[in-house]
Structure 1
Amino acid sequence: MTAVAVVPAYGQCGGSGWTGAAAPSSTATTASSTRATTSTAKPSTTAAPSNTPAPPAGITTTLPASAGYTALPTASIITGSFDGHMVKFDRKGSSGDCEEQTETGEEDAVFILESGASISNVIIGKAQAEGIHCRGPCTVTNVWWEDVCEDAITIKQTGAGDVSTINGGGAFHAEDKIGKLYRACGNCATSHERHVQVDNVCLKDGKEGTGINSNWGDTAILTNIKTSSKPSAANVCCAYKGVAKGSEPPKIGW
């Protein structure tokens, strides 16, 4: 794999009034974590994990081994913290099963995290449409998507000080949203200024790394990004023009 380094480490990509480098780069992930509290709504497993596989060390492009499997009939709502012990969960046979690129909604997620909740050590199987939905700031640690299908994770935080963190994990076989690793919504009913940090990530056979709306003041800080040349260096960080709901945000640069 090739390390992308068009913009210096911790370089800025976009933002109101920003006139920096024309070709953003490789660099940084994750914002500071939120603290989760109690745990509820833990899904039961069909196979109790007696020996939980250890999380992978360093960057890997191989899906970890699972410690069991559960098909959930409805989305599991997490209000505190949930450790899946590397069990695989999906929505096989339910309304939340994968429908390829058909747009679905929160009810088709595998897990719904309430504001401040956290989830860790989970594999999300290929029979799912929406992966994880966070209703506010959330923390996602060592979570893997066997097949992204339509969406991997949707974060709906709206507060000016809200921060979500994704630590470790990986996602495979994405046509859309992780064909773009990160995309700030560019045509939601209400627009918000968003800031993302991406660090120590391997991008393989994707379309874009990050997508931000520069006219809304969004920024992206990228460090330690490796790519297979897909996405290309020019597409590791992309700028869009945010628009009103019902329109399609145009790509305006990188």
Structure 2
Amino acid sequence: MALFDRKGSGGDCKGQAEQDEAAAVFILEPGATLKNAIIGPAQAEGVHCRGPCTIENVWWDDVCEDAATFKGTGPRYVRGGGAREASDKVFQHNGEGWLHIDGFYANKFGKFYRSCGNCSQQFQRHVNITNFVGIQGVVMGVNQNYGDTATLSNYCVAKIGVICTRYEGCVKPCEAGEIGEGALAPYCVVNGQDWS
């Protein structure tokens, strides 16, 4: 596997400053697949999917703002791979519809998955996470008021204070407010059961 980053370009990491897809290492057009790659630490945004996409066996050495951002519509798939040192988020879901994550490893993250809390256009979003290994972070964050759902099954976690945080999402300019932690079906479900 080859390593890719934005060292020496305008796409270098600038801490948690929000940047657009121009700072991404890869931009995936609808229907594209990114496979067998390492995203190096010199990047502000890792991967941006503009629609349906597949990310397979991709590893992030040191996540800057987000490892991957999902836009547009249609199903998206993350198969295998891993990420570490994501002080903010690993996967940011801005578009509508489904994201399926299977067989992913994450170590030290703010949130593993977050449905956008304050996008300029809001949608109902759904995530299905299976065969997940996570160390130190919040696994899922969803907007309860928009009907988001998150399901986690077949997982192994350590140093996880909260599996799922529920928010009241909003449209910019605003910040999403936290409603509660733990499971509340159908918004946050773990192994088909409520978790709290």
1:164 and 2:94 are equivalent in the alignment: no
1:240 and 2:171 are equivalent in the alignment: no
Gaps of 5+ in 2: 91-109, 182-196
1:187 and 2:118 are equivalent in the alignment: yes
What is the CA–CA distance in structure 1 between the aligned matches of 2:89 and 2:62, rounded to whole Å? 12
What is the CA–CA distance in structure 1 between the aligned matches of 2:11 and 2:149, rounded to whole Å? 33
Please state whether the residue corresponding to 1:131 is helix, strand or coil. strand
Deviation at 1:226, TM superposition (A): 1.5
When Rg is computed on C-alpha atoms for both structures, the one with the higher figure is 1
Q: Identify the residue that residue 249 of structure 1 maps to in structure 2.
A: 176
What is the CA–CA distance in structure 1 between the aligned matches of 2:18 and 2:124, rounded to whole Å? 24
What is the CA–CA distance in structure 1 between the aligned matches of 2:145 and 2:19, rounded to whole Å? 28
Gaps of 5+ in 1: 1-85
1:209 and 2:139 are equivalent in the alignment: yes
Task: Give me the CA root mean square deviation.
Answer: 0.9
Q: What TM-score comes out, normalization by structure 2 length?
A: 0.80
Q: What TM-score comes out, normalization by structure 1 length?
A: 0.62
Q: Identify the residue that residue 150 of structure 1 maps to in structure 2.
A: 65
Query: Which residue, 123, 130, 152 being the options, matches 1:199?
Result: 130
What is the CA–CA distance in structure 2 between the aligned matches of 1:101 and 1:187, rounded to whole Å? 16
Deviations 1:103-144 (A, max 9, x none): 111000000000111110000000011000001111000000
Deviations 1:189-235 (A, max 9, x none): 111101100011111122x1011111101101110222112x22xx1
For these two proteins, the number of residue pairs brought into alignment is 162
Moved over 3 A (4+): none
What is the CA–CA distance in structure 2 between the aligned matches of 1:171 and 1:177, rounded to whole Å? 10
Greater share of strand residues, 1 or 2?
A: 2
Counterpart amino acid of residue 219 in structure 1: T
Aligned-pair identity (%): 53
